[in-house]
Structure 1
Amino acid sequence: MKSLPTIFAIFRDDRMDRINLRALTRLLLILLTLVIIYSVLFHILMLREGQDHTWLTGLYWTLTVMSTLGFGDITFHSDIGRLFSVVVLVTGVVFLLVLLPFTFIEFFYAPYIKAQERAKAPTQVAEDVEGHVIMTNHGPVARSLIRLLDDYGYPHFVLSSNLEEALELQRQGVPVVLGDWTDPDSFRKLNVEMARMVVTTLDDVANTNITFTARELSDRVTIVASASTRGVRDALELAGVTHIIQLEELMGETLARRVIGNDAKAHVIGELGDLLIAETGIARTSLPGKTVAGCGIFERTGMVVVGRWERGNYHPTDLSTPLTEESILLLAGTEIQVEVYNEVFGVTTEESCKVIIIGGGRVGRALSRSLTEAGIAWTIIEKIPARVQDIEHKIIGNASEFEVLVEAGMRDAASVIITTHDDPLNTFLTIFYRRLRNDLQIISRCTQPQYASRLHRAGADLVLSYASMGANTIFTHLRGSGTVPLGDGVNVFTTQVPSSLAGVTIAKSEVRSRTGCSIIALETGKIRQFNPGPEQQLPEGGNLVLVGSLEAEREFLSAFEPETKS
């Protein structure tokens, strides 16, 4: 009986359940009408046979026959009476043994179970919860983001509108709240006024509505929303979004930077005040085969090699680190030093560099635009003509057919970039292309992070995770202006000099060897010193500007426990 109010509440709140309740009411009225009609006909037929019974007896006979109990104490002796009994019996079987049980299960028992399950799913957070992150779905990006939030101790909740999903997430240990993202009350129950951030990565219409709803309730909460096209940005900005992320554009630009092309220049990918962070491929320069100490980059340009990417993985460097053709260097310096580097090392060869893009979706089209800006020739292979109808360099066909690949120029291409969102398909294509050409640079996108290692084993030179990239970008916005994302989970971040390192030289601090972070600048008051030497002492009360992966940053915070972090 305790659950009856909950069941009635479900009927009241759910439109479909209210419709079902009305259908049940009509069915019961029909049954009541039949019972009355059969009771009347019972009296008429009994009188024809010379039998006289009370009205209660007529009701009793009708119910016993319809329910198939059939005690046999009252019977008809004529054929028409027996035929009437058969009609009443069949009607009872249909209504009482088929329709009513089904209706009871559908309209009463199922809502009861639903009410019990709904009671298990939390519908709000505690009143004292604050500084938390609210996510509106539990997709690949959200799952990667949750791992980061857990590592750094940020409270978070997923708002799910689906009861089954909410219960499953609860079983998995994911903090979840059941609610409708179109209902402002759902966000009130999530303490959106006290939240640190709202993250929504659904479709454009949903993201705009969620942004508008959350912004109406709080003008201070940071709202991060994804957008599939540039045209959606205006709607999101009017709705009150704080940061817009176009993951497809970001993925396309990052994939383009990883191409071994005819441009060995340093491209700026982040800046923190006057400090610029750039990356460059060195495959077509004189640097491969040398070490960081012997390459002469610092002596000739003033820029410092702070790290490198090898097969998609970031590694810090020291003076003895060897440089290979696959190395993509991460450099730190000023604007003038970047210009000097490009004059010294940024040579352009006459050798052609062609890229084949597999997939003409949003990522593939964004990639083609970035390659065009870099002056690299490309061809897109796409199965669906409508996706690439406005693109000149395209081939319509199946990217696993040899004739299509020959037409696209696979024999002479320097790189092939696989951009589809189907990870198993990307793995198949990677194996296929590696078998065709062992010297081909294969770059692949993956949607689920767990497929990255599989794609590497299949033969990909570089794999970029869509989910990890999106999560890292959102996490950077969460942490504020003191962090600059460089891609692939690598950031520039600022932190106060730990008391245990105050007055210690950079060499003796062993920051790089112990944590994997590289110190690229020191700040004392308003003075910033770029690329400090190994004998530079760390100032007490000053700030460190470091570059490293998220794992390296966690190692630093764990090893030195700075008093504050920005």
Structure 2
Amino acid sequence: TDRDEINTNITFTVRELSEHVPIITTADSPYSEDILKLAGSTKVLQLYTILGRSLAAWTIGGECGANIISRFDELIIAEFPAMGTPLVGKRLAESKLREHIGINVVGLWERGKFMVPDADSIIQHNSVLVLAGSEENLAAYDEVYSFYHICKLTGEPVLIVGSGRVGDTIVEQFKERGIPYLVIEKNPKRLQEEQHYVIGDAADIRTLQRAFIEKAPAAVITTHDDATNIYLTKYLRSLRSDMQILSRSNLERNVSTLHRAGADFVMSFASLGANAIFNFLKNEDMRMLAEGLNIFRMKAPESLVGRSLAQSSIREVTDCSVVAIRAGNILAINPDPQLPIKMHAELILIGTAEGERKFLKTFEC
């Protein structure tokens, strides 16, 4: 995780000692990927690029549907910000998402904290829904709800604060998706396309006014300094209570501070790297969706065979949600809670690491 030149040296040395050990390296420059692979790296992670793409995917704008975060056989796990949709303020039971669309809400993120919802959980303005379903379910959901996130037709630009490596990646993603944007940048030497840049300090109200802060649907804060990101998040939130604010965090300990300052979504540089490494080294039975949130599969314990999901109280007791059951060659996504669990069936669950431990202990797996 050092500079590209040092990473190459270390990789080459380790590969000399072992031909088979997996070596994962980070690369600051896209041109370093080939060199690191020649040195013996098994996997090269360009974290700045991954971070920029993740922030862009979360931004409300363009024709944006649910953000797919994992595929597990035919099962798709996706996340979708409730902001701006008719879902805000409703109880989960009132949303009728499962009945009308076939999609299941298996979790809610509330300013960086994951919770397992029940029927009475209220969908808040800043809630992010964790959805589970098939390709068809997700397409049906997007057809109804992605409409509320479309700002392309209004022509109002999303603000990108900072034009470093992360900011430049976001610009590339917005161009591909047809999302209008303006980059606020202090350094005039970084100016690329004059019509898309506002030179000035994002803490200066005059700069923000030139960037149309009063109409922007979202702002993405990308500087490499967490103190600056917290400062700007607090200021932008004071100016616009209804705008989506996304921020980069370089240190994990500052994620909660950024949420308190008013950020709707924070992407941690440290967590991003940890998740990427974990999923590369994972076994086939578990995958990390976000820090502390996993999707995993296990054989149905004997204590659950013959009982329905409704009778098992898995969600209430363990804070894990059963999102699919495989019996033989058939995968039932969002299975009927009244159907009994068969012998030799395989359960696919979503939950935190603590929830997984509770499941193993409660059902004596």
**Which TM class, normalised by the smaller chain length?**
0.7 to 0.9
Q: What CA deviation, in whole Å up to 9, does each residue of 1:412-459 have, x standing for no partner? A: 212222111211122222222233333333222211111122222323
Which position in structure 1 is the counterpart of 2:321? Answer: 518
Are 1:448 and 2:251 counterparts? yes
Q: What CA deviation, in whole Å up to 9, does each residue of 1:221-279 have, x standing for no partner? A: 22221122333222222233222222222222222233233546233222112111222
Which position in structure 2 is the counterpart of 1:68? Answer: none
Deviation for aligned residue 1:338: 2.1
Are 1:248 and 2:52 counterparts? no
Q: Determine the C-alpha separation between the residues in 2 that align with 1:490 and 1:541.
A: 26
Does structure 2 conserve the Cα–Cα contact (< 8 Å) formed by 1:521 and 1:532? yes
Does structure 2 conserve the Cα–Cα contact (< 8 Å) formed by 1:416 and 1:441? yes
Match of 2:209 among 401, 406, 425: 406
Q: Relative to total residues, which structure has the larger helix share, 1 or 2?
A: 1
Q: Determine the C-alpha separation between the residues in 2 that align with 1:323 and 1:292.
A: 7
Amino acid at match of 1:223: I
Normalised TM-score (structure 2) = 0.88
Amino acid at match of 1:229: S
Match of 1:358 among 151, 155, 161: 161
Does the C-alpha gap of structure 1 residues 404 and 453 become closer, same or farther in structure 2, counting only changes over 3 Å? same
Computing the radius of gyration from Cα coordinates, the structure with the larger value is: 1
Does structure 2 conserve the Cα–Cα contact (< 8 Å) formed by 1:446 and 1:466? yes
Deviation for aligned residue 1:520: 0.7
Does structure 2 conserve the Cα–Cα contact (< 8 Å) formed by 1:476 and 1:484? yes
Which structure 2 segments of 5+ residues have no match?
none
Which position in structure 2 is the counterpart of 1:465? Answer: 268
Q: Determine the C-alpha separation between the residues in 1 that align with 2:41 and 2:195.
A: 35
Q: What CA deviation, in whole Å up to 9, does each residue of 1:89-143 have, x standing for no partner? A: xxxxxxxxxxxxxxxxxxxxxxxxxxxxxxxxxxxxxxxxxxxxxxxxxxxxxxx
Does the C-alpha gap of structure 1 residues 285 and 425 become closer, same or farther in structure 2, counting only changes over 3 Å? closer
What RMSD over aligned residues (CA atoms) do the two structures have, in Å?
2.6
Does the C-alpha gap of structure 1 residues 305 and 232 become closer, same or farther in structure 2, counting only changes over 3 Å? same
Amino acid at match of 1:233: E
Does the C-alpha gap of structure 1 residues 503 and 321 become closer, same or farther in structure 2, counting only changes over 3 Å? same
Which position in structure 2 is the counterpart of 1:327? Answer: 127
Amino acid at match of 2:137: Q
Does structure 2 conserve the Cα–Cα contact (< 8 Å) formed by 1:268 and 1:279? yes
Are 1:397 and 2:200 counterparts? yes
Counting aligned pairs with the same residue, the percent is: 41
Which position in structure 1 is the counterpart of 2:236? Answer: 433
Amino acid at match of 1:404: T
Does the C-alpha gap of structure 1 residues 550 and 389 become closer, same or farther in structure 2, counting only changes over 3 Å? farther
Which position in structure 2 is the counterpart of 1:261? Answer: 61
Does structure 1 conserve the Cα–Cα contact (< 8 Å) formed by 2:112 and 2:256? no
Which position in structure 2 is the counterpart of 1:277? Answer: 77
Which structure 1 segments of 5+ residues have no match?
1-200
Are 1:504 and 2:307 counterparts? yes
Which position in structure 1 is the counterpart of 2:334? Answer: 531
Deviation for aligned residue 1:387: 4.2
Does the C-alpha gap of structure 1 residues 535 and 229 become closer, same or farther in structure 2, counting only changes over 3 Å? farther
Instruction: Count how many residue pairs are aligned between Structure 1 and Structure 2.
Output: 362
Query: 1:158-169 to 2 correspondence within 5 Å?
Result: none
Deviation for aligned residue 1:352: 4.4
Q: Relative to total residues, which structure has the larger strand share, 1 or 2?
A: 2
Does the C-alpha gap of structure 1 residues 234 and 324 become closer, same or farther in structure 2, counting only changes over 3 Å? same
Q: Determine the C-alpha separation between the residues in 2 that align with 1:282 and 1:264.
A: 12
Does structure 2 conserve the Cα–Cα contact (< 8 Å) formed by 1:511 and 1:517? yes
Which position in structure 2 is the counterpart of 1:293? Answer: 93
